[in-house]
Amino acid sequence: MDSTIHRASVPQLSVVSISREKRKKKLESPSHMLLHSANGKMASAAHKGPQNVVHITNAVMYGIINSILTIPAMYSYAVILFSHKDFEDFMPALSKLVMFSSVVHQVMFTLMSSLPFSIGQVQDAGLIFLNTTATSICDLLGDDVPVEAKVTTSIVTIGIATAALGVCLVVMGKLRLAALASYLPMPVIGGYLAF
């Protein structure tokens, strides 16, 4: 098959470059840019409007790809997060809770993000701290406290800690305080990432 024919018939992914100036502008969702032909025009001749077939197809494709990437990760995050022996009987419910919280995270990221091309996957960096919190709660409460109380206390504590962190990050973003991270020494950042 001739490479020019193959290139023209296969849709190519478009690349979005973001600079500080472009970020200030309102960016349109990139889902309409996913399927482009080689000449840069939309591969589909669908009309523009609320029921744009290309837009819906691309949105569904983004959702499927995001689900394929994140669902296995969320189950593994649940196992890491609730690794204490007291959580064993509650793992199915805790896995569903982690999955539900990641859906809430994805919806909020989709609705509020200024980076329309990003996938808002839950990060694994905070899991070690949340795991330490949940494990410490179970160890500190001891064997005389019912397991249900340990699980409930762990979930509420993790929820409050995560919500407080989210509020702090939103405030830092609104006040444009992210530049303060440049004052942290590189060994501190490296130690955090390696912990």
Report d(CA 48, CA 59) in Å as an integer.
Answer: 15
Crossing angle between the packed helical segments 91-112 and 53-81, to the nearest 10 degrees: 140
This prediction has a pTM of 0.63
Taking only the tens place, the pLDDT of each residue in 86-109 is 999 999 999 999 999 888 888 888
Using alpha carbons only, what angle is made at residue 188 by residues 186 and 189, rounded to the nearest 5 degrees?
Answer: 65
Is there a domain that residue 33 lies in?
no
Please count the CA atoms within 13 angstroms of the CA of 146 that sit on its side-chain side: 3
Is there a domain that residue 2 lies in?
no
Per-residue pLDDT at 51:
63
Is there a domain that residue 169 lies in?
yes
Looking at residue 2, its amino acid is D
The residue among 56 and 88 whose pLDDT is bigger is: 88
Taking only the tens place, the pLDDT of each residue in 115-172 is 766 777 788 778 889 999 999 999 999 889 999 999 999 999 999 998 998 899 889 8
**8 Å CB contact between 129 and 145:** no
Per-residue pLDDT at 1:
46
Which residues contact residue 16 at a Cβ distance below 8 angstroms, ignoring those fewer than 6 apart?
27, 30, 33, 116, 117
Is there a domain that residue 115 lies in?
yes
The pLDDT-based confidence of 58 (bands split at 50, 70, 90) is confident
**8 Å CB contact between 79 and 131:** no
Is there a domain that residue 91 lies in?
yes
Report d(CA 174, CA 195) in Å as an integer.
Answer: 29
Per-residue pLDDT at 116:
67
Report d(CA 143, CA 133) in Å as an integer.
Answer: 17
The residue among 1 and 58 whose pLDDT is bigger is: 58
Report d(CA 129, CA 81) in Å as an integer.
Answer: 9
Please determine, for residue 38, whether its predicted confidence score (pLDDT) is greater than 80. Answer: no
Is there a domain that residue 37 lies in?
no
Q: Which domain holds residue 167?
A: 52-194
Which residues contact residue 117 at a Cβ distance below 8 angstroms, ignoring those fewer than 6 apart?
16, 18, 30
Per-residue pLDDT at 15:
42
Is there a domain that residue 135 lies in?
yes
Domain count, the chain: 1
**Cα Rg of the chain, angstroms:** 22
Is there a domain that residue 95 lies in?
yes
